[in-house]
Structure 1
Amino acid sequence: MDDLQLLREMRNDIGTAPQATLARGRNKVMDRISPASSSKATATHATATARPIRFKRRVLLASAAAALLVGGMVVADVVKPTGPGATAQAAEVLNNAAAATIQTADPVVNPGQYLKIQSTNLWASAAVDENQKEYQWLDTEKQTMYIPADRNQEWVWERSGRIPTTFFDDVSKEYVERTQAAGPEAYVLRGANGAFYGPGSESTFPSLSYLDSLSREPRALLDDIYQKTSGKGQSVDGEALVFIADLLRTGVVPGDLRATLYKAAALIPGVTVTDEQATLDGRKGIAIGRVEDFSHFRQDLIIDPQNGLPIGERQVLTEPRGTMPAGTATAWTTVETTVSNTAP
C-alpha cells in the first residue's frame, strides 16, 4: 500500500469500538482509521456506522439487514482547470495563511520525545433495525497519537471510543440509549512505526519521505494532486481539496508544505470563504470551502488566521439528508500538534 492510499484511509468513515462497547450482540469493530469494518445483526438488531457524506467511498451505510448505497460520479481522466481559481477573498485568506504559517516554528522532537497529535472527531452514524427502520445521529471521539522521534520505535494511540453526542429526533436517541447502554470504552493501541495491528500492518500517517517528495511550488503541487486523485471523488477540483484537507488533518505536515498546500488550494476553482467566524470544537478560525452540487455537501478547511495553522476540516450538508437538516456538519476533525516527553 502506497503513501497516497494510506493518506486517503486517514478518513475514519466507519466507526470503531472495542468488543466491550458493543457487547450486546455486536462484533468488535476495529479499523485503521480507514473504513474497513464489519457489522453483524443480532437476533433483534442490525447496526452499522458510517460517515454518509464521504461520497468518494460511495457506501453510505451497510448492515446485515440493509445496505444503502450512494451513487457517485467518478471522474475517469485528469482534467486540469483552465479557468480562475478560488474567489479573490478566499485566495487572499489562503495566501495570508501561507505567509503566516511559514513564520510559525514547527515542533522539534528530540530523541526520547514524541510528537503528540490530539484530535477531536465527529462522524455521522446510522443503524437499521429488523423492521428496516433507520436511525441517525452524530458520534464524537477523542484521539491522541504519540509518534516517537525515531519512527521505528513504538507509537501509542489513545482513543476514547465513539460517544453519541447529537440527535435529530427522539426515536434515534431512544434507540441509541437502548442498544448502547454500556457506553463506549476507552482503549490504547501500540505498534512499532505505527503498525498497530501487528507485523505487516502499516502506519496510516504519511511517511517523512512522502512529505519530502511533494513539490513546494503551488501549481506543480496541485497538478501532482490532480494526478494522484485521478478517477476518484465527485469532481476533479473537489477531490483535490479533499486531498489537501486529508493531508493537513494528519498534523504532521511541515510549515513549508502547509504554505504550499494553502497556495495550491487558492488555485482550485470554486473555493470560497464559507464562514469568517467558524467554530470547531471551541476553536475559531476562517473556513475555506467548496460545494459539491452532485452530492450536496461542502468541504471546508478551517484555518487560524493569526498563525496560519490548520484548526481542522469538516463536511457540511447543503440539503437535508434523512433526519439531518441542511447545514449539519456530518463529519469534522480538529487537530493540535505539540511535543511530549512521555507517552502512556
Structure 2
Amino acid sequence: MDDLALLTRLREDVPGRSPADVVRGRAALLRAIGTPSARPARTRRSWIWIGSAAAATCGLAGALVVAGLPGTPGSADPAAAAVLTSAATAARTVTDPVVGPGQYLEVRTDAVYGATGTTEADAEVARRERDGNVIAEDETSYLESEVSAVWVPSDHAGDWMYVSCARTPVQTFGPRSETFAAESAGIGDDIRRVLPGGRWYDGTPFGMLSEDDLAALPRDPAQLLQEIYRQNGNAGPSRDGEALVWIADRLRSGALSADIRSLFYDTAALIPGVTITEEQATLNGRTGTAIGRDEENNGFRQDIIIDATTGAFIGEREVLLRPSADMPAGTAIGSTSVTTTVVDAVPEGTSLCAG
C-alpha cells in the first residue's frame, strides 16, 4: 500500500552529591516555594509526524510584551528556570566538536512517531454508511521508529548528505491497532538525499535555521522570545506553547552550536507555563530533565530533555494528556533523540539502515 492509498483510507475528503543532584535539589526547593503557572492550549497535527512547530495564538498587537526574569511571574516555573539556567551556563563552557577539512559532523536522530488512521474494515464502514466520512471512533494508532542522519561537511556551503530509514512499528494499543499496523506495513523506503549547502529541494534550511538566520537572531533572551512570537504569528491556540515548540524544533536538528543552545535554554526559561515534567527522563538510553508545557485544550505537552550539568540537548517529545485513537494518556506520540559524532566520511548508500 502506498502513501496515497493510506491517506485515502484515512479520509476521503537527582553525604556525596553530584552536580546533577545539586541542580535537582535546587529545583525541588524552588518548585516547593513557587507559584504554579497557567497552562494555555495549542493545536497539533495527528497524522504520522508530530514534531514540528505550528504557530502561536496571540500577536503582539502593536505592543512589546517584555518577558520577566527567569523564575519570576510571567516566566517559567522557578524550578524549571533553575534547570534551564544551569544548562545554559554549562553550555557556555562547552567546546564544540572540531570538524577538520574533509570531515563531517554526523548528526543521528533516533525517533518514534505516532501513526493514526483507520483499518481497512473501519474505512469500508465509513464509505458505506457515512459517505466516506471518518469519525474519531474510527481511528486507531500505533508507534513506529525511524533512524535518520545528516552529515554536515566542514565547509557548510558544500553538499550535506541525509539518510532516512524506513519506519518500523514498535508499539501497538490493542487488536485494532495491531491490525492497522499490519495493514500499513511496507509503506516508505530508505531514502538518501543530497542537501546542497544544507538546504532541501525547496530552499528550506536543514534544522529550519540557516547560518544567516542564526547570525540574525537577537542574543538577548528576552528579545529573542519576542522575535519568536513575531515569527510564529497569530495562528494557533497558544503563543507561549508555540514558542517552546519553536525552540524544540530547532534544538532537535542537532546541528546547533553550544552558544546557540545556551541562548535557547535561557529563552525557554522566560516562557510562562514551562515546568519540570519529569526529573529523570530517558530517551534512547540517555537521561536528563524533561522541561515542558501542557496544552490542555488540545491534550498535548511539548517537552525538551536536557542535561543540566553539561548543557547537552538529549531530545524532545510530545506527550498525550488524554486518551486519543486507542493511545492512553501519557503516551509519547512523538520523540527524537540526537547524538553527534565527527567522522571522516559519509557511509555508502543507505548502509545506516542496515544496522
Which category describes the TM-score, using the shorter chain as reference length? 0.7 to 0.9
Which residue of 334, 339, 342 corresponds with 2:337? 334
Please tell me the root mean square deviation across aligned C-alpha atoms, in Å. Answer: 2.5
Residues 120, 333 of structure 1: 8 Å contact kept: yes
Aligned to 1:144: 149
Q: Secondary structure, in 3 states, of the residue corresponding to 1:276?
A: strand
Code of the aligned partner of 1:227: R
Find the counterpart in structure 1 of residue 179 from structure 2: 174
1:130 aligned counterpart, secondary structure: helix
Structure of higher RCO (CA pairs closer than 8 Å, 6+ residues apart): 2
* Deviation digits for residues 39-90 of structure 1 (CA, Å, limit 9, x no counterpart): 2369xx7258xxxxxx96755449xxxxxxxxx9962422736643111111
Counterpart contact for 1:317–1:330, Cα < 8 Å: yes
CA distance in 2, matches of 1:176, 1:75: 35
Distance 1:316 1:100, change over 3 A: same
SS, match of residue 240 in structure 1: helix
1:190 corresponds to 2:180: no
Aligned to 2:16: none
Residue of structure 2 equivalent to 1:317 = 320
Number of the residue aligned with 1:116: 106
TM-score, normalized by length of structure 1?
A: 0.77
Matched-pair contact (CA < 8 Å) for 2:56–2:242: no
Match of 1:77 in 2: 59
Partner of 1:100: 90
1:156 maps to 2:161? yes
Q: Does 1:90 align with 2:80?
A: yes
> Which one of the candidate residues 224, 229, 235 is aligned to 2:238?
235
Q: Distance in 2 between matches of 1:114 and 1:239?
A: 32
The 5 Å alignment of 1:289-300 reads: 289-300=292-303
User: Among the aligned pairs, what percent are the same residue?
Assistant: 37
Unaligned runs of 5+ in 1: 1-23, 28-38, 49-54, 63-71
Distance 1:201 1:226, change over 3 A: closer
How far did 1:151 drift? 2.6
Count of matched residue positions in the alignment of Structure 1 and Structure 2: 289
1:337 to 1:87, Cα distance in 2 relative to 1, 3 A: same
* Runs of 4+ off more than 6 Å: none
Q: CA deviation at 1:341?
A: 1.0
Task: Tell whether the 8 Å contact from 2:56 to 2:239 is kept in structure 1 after alignment.
Answer: no
More strand by share: 1
Aligned equivalents of 1:89, 1:76: Cα separation in 2: 26
Deviation at 1:306, TM superposition (A): 2.6
Structure showing greater Rg: 2
Alignment partners' CA distance in 1, 2:282 and 2:75: 26
Match of 2:205 in 1: 203
Following superposition, the deviation at residue 273 of structure 1 comes to: 0.7
Residue 279 of structure 2 contacts residue 288 of structure 2 at CA under 8 Å; is this kept in 1? yes
Are 1:56 and 1:232, in contact at CA under 8 Å, matched by a contact in 2? no
Pairing 1:253–2:256 present: yes
Give the match's secondary structure for 2:322. Answer: coil
Equivalent residue for 1:225? Answer: 228
Q: Say if 1:151 and 1:192, in contact at 8 Å, map to a contact too.
A: no
CA drift at 1:175: 3.0
Q: Does the CA-based 8 Å contact 1:85-1:267 persist in structure 2?
A: yes
Distance 2:262 2:56 in 1: 29
Give the alignment partner of residue 124 of structure 2, picking from 110, 119, 130: 130
Q: Any idea what the Cα deviations from partners look like across 1:121-157, whole Å, max 9, x if unmatched?
A: 1111022233244331111100010111223322211
Counterpart residue identity of residue 187, structure 1: I
Amino acid at match of 2:194: R
Aligned partner of 1:286 in structure 2 is 289
